Copies of this chain bind each other. A is one copy, B any other.
Amino acid sequence: MTLLADLLSTVFDRRYRRDGPRVKDGRPLCDLSLALVGSAGETSGLALAEEILARFADLDDAGKLAFFRDIAGMNIDPEAVRTTLEDYERNPTKAGYRAFMEAAEPPRQELIRRLNRVPGATGALVRMRAELLRLTGADPELQALDLDFRHLFASWFNRGFLVLRPISWESPAQVLDKIIAYEAVHAIDSWDDLRRRLQPSDRRCFAFFHPAMPDEPLIFVEVALVKGTPGSVQALLAEDREAMPASQADTAVFYSISNCQAGLANISFGNSLIKQVAADLAADLPGLKTFVTLSPIPGLTKWLTAQGQNWQDATADQMKALAAHYLLNAKVQNGAPFDPVARFHLGNGAIVHAVHADADVSDKGRAQSGGAMVNYLYDLPKVAQNHETFATTQKVIASADVKTLAGSVTLTPSKNTEER
């Protein structure tokens, strides 16, 4: 909003540019980390935090692992937890609760919070967690450390703090750079390709941002405005297609959703994104009546193969039927859909609307789903109830057509395969 835009415009710049010589403390990073957690005041704390972040960024993998192990060691003291808990039970005072809180939270959480006090640190911490995830492997101590990062990030990257922003050909090149880099579904191979996704009157793109990382999109969705539900991504992205005035469209197609930050893995905001974008588009373009995805079916061929089902020789009609069957029936052990994209959209309250063969004929599309794709439908008035139903029963809601298609296939699922 105006006030916020205004308030930020003059100041932010400056603080990011302060890059004078850092006074190096010189102590080992783990000592600095302990000092930071124990630091009596903000002034020295900020300097410590800056130095830790700056030195961490320069470490090699071995150095980073060593640092992570060091701070993973800043764990709870079980004895202190027990003692303070007993004190608090006996004597449930404010001081008692405070003592328990402090004992029950590992100091490494406070360390991460204090690191975050440095202007610009949030992005550095997200990158730090990306490194942690890359290096963690099966180490349970590092996995526990990651849970602390995740706990704090879930609080900081809370939906209420995120800002939805249109990405367009008017956006800063610096942001567009990242759209090119992060597009994970249908790769953008050049600035001209990007321009085709953003500039035409019938294309839209939206991303979530966090105010403390203003030039880093967190997740974005690409939208095509069309007439009728599309059945092929080739047609949707054809280089020589003619753009249409947005006001003539009746359907918004979410054809690509990409997470941008490896360091925000498992911090969920994708579902808000689609629903808010749909609501905003509906308000801007009253002609839009239908909100669907055109989604890949990444687990299809893998699952079919696991079932011993031949799919490589399937006709287009057979492929559609197999896809429908898979979407409705393939499950992981806890009963959720086998397909991760299906889990995402059904979990958001969408339904399986239509399946298409030869809809993604790229190498990747052929390999993962024999070229099939699916439309998930976001029927805004019903999204909440669909979500509820799915969350409670894990029942896959689908259109009559898809159900009929799925019913036309005979295929005995031999086993469920876990995939998450």
Give the B-binding residues of A (Cβ under 8 A). Answer: 1-16, 19, 40-44, 46-47, 76, 78, 81-82, 85, 88-89, 92-94, 97-98, 100-101, 104-105, 113, 116-122, 140-141, 143-144, 146-147, 151-152, 154-156, 158-161, 163-166, 169-177, 191, 195, 198, 209, 211-212, 214-215, 245, 268, 271-272, 275, 280, 283, 347-349, 383-384, 387-388, 391-392
Contact = CB atoms under 8 A, between A and B. Distances in A.
A173 B174 contact: no
The 8 closest A-B pairs by CB, nearest first: A4-B214, A1-B12, A211-B211, A94-B143, A40-B391, A104-B104, A5-B9, A97-B144
Contact of A92 (B4, B100, B141, B161): B141
Given A98-B147, A160-B116, A387 B5 contact: no
Contacts of A160: 116-122, 212
A9 B3 contact: no
B384 A44 contact: yes
B154 A113 contact: yes
A116 B161 CA distance: 8
Nearest to A20: B247
16 contacts: A1-B16, A2-B9, A2-B172, A3-B214, A11-B165, A40-B388, A40-B392, A42-B271, A43-B348, A113-B155, A113-B158, A118-B160, A156-B156, A163-B211, A170-B174, A171-B173
Contacts of A152: 155
Contacts of A169: 172-174, 177
A152 B144 CA distance: 21
Contacts of A174: 3, 169-170
B93 A271 contact: no
Nearest to A105: B104
A260 B375 CA distance: 46
Contacts of A245: 19
